[in-house]
Amino acid sequence: MNARASRRIDAAAHHHGGDARETGMFEHLPAHVGHALRRVRPGLDKILCNDPAFADAPVLPVHSRAFDDGAPLPQRYTADGEGLSPPVQWHHVPAGARSVVLVVEDADSPTPKPLVHAIVWNLPGEDGVLGEGVLNAMHATGSQDLGRNSLLQHAWLPPDPPPGHGPHRYAFEVFALDCVPAHGEAPGRGGLLDLLRGHVLASGLLLGTYERRTC
């Protein structure tokens, strides 16, 4: 992402306002269905950064000023709030890195594989930060650096767990790569996994939780 695109995205994030929410999947699911599916979840073993191909990569610290590791996500970053993407930053990117990829997955979605909430690829190969609402703004500006989420949208999909399904763990994963991905069709989860294999210099994980409780 070049400086001009970054400035355009930051400006759009500042003005994006109430249009940040994307259509959710599970918001109107009956609570009894959520309860019935409580044991249906892929788990942390299935998230990308735990793939055996690069699970032993050096650790890259990932933080957010909005929530602590393992702590609940503020509602403003979910489908029950404004649906903004939370701020995320990463440090100690290896010197040989040429690009960085950010992936957000739900390790507890009632699906065989983790539900992908966002993919951002082709970020600069250095320490960096994505501010609040930047992923919403990237969608609004048609950025080619957004991959496809599990709804096949080039967008941030706010956390939207089924009512009664229990707490969900949202994995904010950062990968430092030794290559710059060629710009073709923006990848989904499978394409990204193929892109990562053999190129990960370091990876980091930040977990945020969210639960949609029943009344």
Per-block average pLDDT, block size 10, for the chain (215 residues)?
38 38 54 52 94 92 98 97 98 96 96 95 95 97 93 95 92 96 80 92 98 76
CATH of domain 3-210: 3.90.280.10
SS3 call for 170: strand
Give pLDDT, residue 38: 56
- Rounded to whole angstroms, the Cα distance separating 159 from 17 reads 18
Which pLDDT value is given to residue 24?
Answer: 56
What pLDDT does residue 74 have?
98
The model's pTM is 0.85
Q: Which residues of 114-151 are buried (b: 16+ CB within 10 A; e: fewer)?
A: bbbbbbbbbbbbeebebbbbbbbbbbbbebbbbbbbbe
Domain limits, the chain: 3-210
- Cα 178 to its chain centre, rounded Å, is 21
The pLDDT of residue 130: 97
Structure tokens at 154: 């080039």
* Cα(26)–Cα(162) distance, integer angstroms: 5
